[in-house]
Chain A
Amino acid sequence: MNLRKIIFCLLLSVACLFINYVKAEEVLAIIKVKIVPVVGEDIPEGTILIHGHKIEAVGSAVAVPPEAKIIDGRGLTAYPGMIDAWSTLGLYEIGSLQATIDYRETGRLNPQVLTTEALRPDSMHIPITRSNGITAALVVPSGGLIPGRSGLIQLWGGTPPEMVIKSPVAMHVELPAISRGGFRRQAGPREEGSRQLEEVKELLHQARFYEKRKIAASKNKILALPDFDEKLEALLPVTHGEMPLIISVHSAADIRAAIKFLQEEKLKGIFYGVSQGWMVAKEIAQADIPVIFGSLYDLPPSWEDGYDALYRNPGVLRQAGAKIAFSSSSASLAKELPYHAAKAAAFGLDKREALKAVTIYPAEILGVADLMGSLEKGKLANIVLAEGDILELRTVIRHVFIQGQEIELSSAYTEFLEKYRKRNEKKP
């Protein structure tokens, strides 16, 4: 009797293990689907094999194992999940309620704060965004000269650790935006970006010195340790060259000053915004500094720039050889990411490059190209199945996979409508 029980339990637990094992190693096959891997040639009809979290195989002649769950991709096109290179997803709910906004810390210098430590996974903006094919986003801080550090999340998960892909990604520096008359109604004080950069230079210098003192004190017990400074501590990875700086910069003069700054300090940098980037495109490209665009849903800084300045900016920069990525620069309108890219394509950017700038390029710029950005073996199974071009406004998205899990496409949009549909269509 006893032995039977033991054996039964053993078998049961083995069975459970087996089930778990099978679950964790679930195999999905998307078949008969048009594939746009982004890296490499398009495949008019093929198969994507997903094993667990990762893409096992992509091709026109992929063998599908018998245990695979089949997803019919007829009439659909598979794309890699898009990556939003700048957003406030998870840190913003309702604009007028301060209690729901957590991406802006008080004070001017906050290198010690990290966005992914404040994420709200239940944000109503996340399901809407991922339903439109965006599967990852860089969540960024804002405000002051050094607002903090950003982290990359996937748009699925119940807790922040479940969402974080890479964090921290970069240290942020914000130079003032241009505010002149012309298109914009308000004219504000003209601040010099180069003065702010001097300040950052000084801070980095202080950080290096702080570290020097720490190291010296650890070697020689007589020397006093410097007082703990969380801000300088946070800047150390930047001085070591381990963490890039993302500099928000807009005017041509400031861009030049920022390039000089990065070269002199020998730092890795990425530019964000670059509203007047088209004026200094060659210099940005030659300096090998990638560029993340702000929302194209904005007006150019001044009349002289031309009404289409922000629209043609990406094309000009790409033509000059710069590496580019688009962003939504939003939470409530993060779903617009593909349409910023399409807008740039309407004004000179090559359509293929536009697609790359929301997939593989942001992955490369943010240092996660081994994980995402294209449909290639070994990368995470972040896949979007759409009824057409995902950069097109009219395209309906049918399936979204994040790390091999199919995501339900319900969101506030669908839930609210369903709730009130009954009311409007109830027969009296």
Chain B
Amino acid sequence: MKKNIIISLCLFLAAVEPILAGGNLLLKNGTILTVTKGTIPKGDILILDGFIRQIGENITAPAGVKVIDVSGKYIIPGIIDSHTHIALSGTNETGNTITAEVNMRDVLHAEDTSIFTAISGGVTTIHTLHGSANPIGGQNITLKLKWGKKAEEMIFAQAWPTLKFALGENVTQANRTVVGGEERRYPASRMGVVAIIRRELQRAREYIAQWDRYNEWQRLKMLNRPLLPPRKDLQLEALADLLRGKLVARCHSYRADETIEFIQLSHEFRFRVACFEHIPEAYKIAKELAAEKIGISVFMDSWAYKVEAAEGIATMPAYCAQQGVLVSINSDSNERIRRLFNDAAKAIKYGGLPEDEALKLVTLNPAIQLGVDKWVGSLEVGKHGDIAVFNEHPLSAYTRCDLTIIEGDIYFDREAYLKERQEAQKANPKPKLSGGGQ
């Protein structure tokens, strides 16, 4: 009897999902590209309390649920940009070379108009990061782009907390002209970049050891002399968290060789690398990346702007995906962010990826890389109602995002936007907080 009660209690607890303060919506008659479970040529999606409850044909809406007819349109999972710097009040802390103590969560900027730009392109989740000025940057954060809401309401708490690393020309400041007499910042070569990261991780190891020693002394109570704890250092705490497995690394790298060096470091210090960012030369080491199970988050075809980007090729994402690497396409730009679906389509032309695999580059794959694939990244019952609706096939050059929905609430509605603009053109401009729908 007791056992039964315990079992039913466990089952009950397991069934109770985290409560989302989400919306209710029924989308009808659209072509649904689920990404993981095929395509439904004419289907409906029911979202209740922010979760997808039903996907299929001829679904009837429960009372009070708003119904939107999307006949002729295409429904895909909300797009995920796993590398951007929007929605923040700062990008780089360049006052120091190692800045692991800074946390982008402290500088969220909910009124950044770039958020609106992103949702107008179907993006619903972003991973927004510290910049690449430092070998070790700061702690990053994943957000849902709930335009009009407060910053705290945007935080996607389930995402893995990440720490930004960077290698290459941005860190060595190779493209910066040195004013006469000024000394370059260390590290100014790729040798120094590896050395400084190793030094910092070593310091973190010793910091952990210090605390372990102190805790041990405390425990043993061998106190015949006063005992002071070690100084709490926010920078070393962050690095220690990386070594303890509480943070995962996301490393900006361009060349294949520096990537391999970083992989060696991750083995040496036993920390996890979730993703390499940009890495245009990934195709050169596809087999290593696949073996290490480290994902890549890349541009489709932006290249040749720096020397380390001179051997980037548009066929790389498709090729690496075919070699078993987890590939996502990012924007790292407040302009490209609204064309991620266009970039995904190019993987079909440059490399021959099948359609669903191309769509995954901007939906499921970044979700997996961020640790949120349980909740977003594809259209499946039980996942969040994060959806983008396009008027043509999303991989067509002629397409346009018409609706962006996050957890069942509409955050971008092109029709409403156009109507508002028409009315605003007649009246005087009046200050309002929304750019398109609040």
Contact = CB atoms under 8 A, between A and B. Distances in A.
B284 A423 contact: yes
Nearest to B395: A394
Interface string A291-307: 00000011100011011
B345 A299 contact: no
B306 A96 contact: yes
Contact of B348 (A298, A394, A423): A394
Interface stretch (A23-31, A39-47, A112-120, A341-349): A341-349
Contact of B397 (A304, A391, A423): A391
Interface size range on B against A: 35 or more
A396 interface: yes
Instruction: Sort A-B residue pairs by CB-CB distance and give the 5 closest, nearest first.
Output: A342-B397, A95-B305, A393-B345, A332-B304, A346-B400
Contacts of B398: 342, 345-346, 351, 391-392
Interface in B385-417: 391-392, 395-400, 417
A97 interface: yes
A416 B311 contact: yes
B109 to A, nearest CB: 11
A413 B304 contact: no
A63 interface: no
A333 interface: yes
B305 A393 contact: no
Interface string A358-394: 0000000000000000000000000000000001111
A331 B305 CA distance: 10
B336 interface: yes
Interface of A: 93-97, 124-125, 182-183, 297-299, 303-304, 306-308, 331-333, 335, 338-339, 342-343, 345-347, 351, 391-396, 412-414, 416-417, 420-421, 423-425
27 contacts: A94-B304, A94-B307, A95-B304, A95-B305, A96-B306, A298-B335, A303-B435, A307-B117, A307-B417, A332-B302, A333-B302, A343-B342, A343-B397, A346-B400, A391-B398, A393-B345, A393-B348, A393-B349, A396-B349, A420-B283, A420-B284, A421-B319, A423-B284, A423-B287, A424-B284, A424-B286, A424-B323
A297 B335 contact: yes
Given A351-B398, A395-B349, A417-B315, A183 B117 contact: yes
A306 B418 CA distance: 9
B395 A393 contact: yes
Given A307-B435, A332-B305, A420-B283, A347 B400 contact: yes
A94 B334 CA distance: 23
Contacts of A394: 345, 348-349, 395-396
Given A303-B435, A393-B345, A125 B113 contact: no
Contacts of A333: 301-302
B284 A307 contact: no
A169 to B, nearest CB: 25
B397 A393 contact: yes
A306 B113 CA distance: 11
A392 B114 CA distance: 27
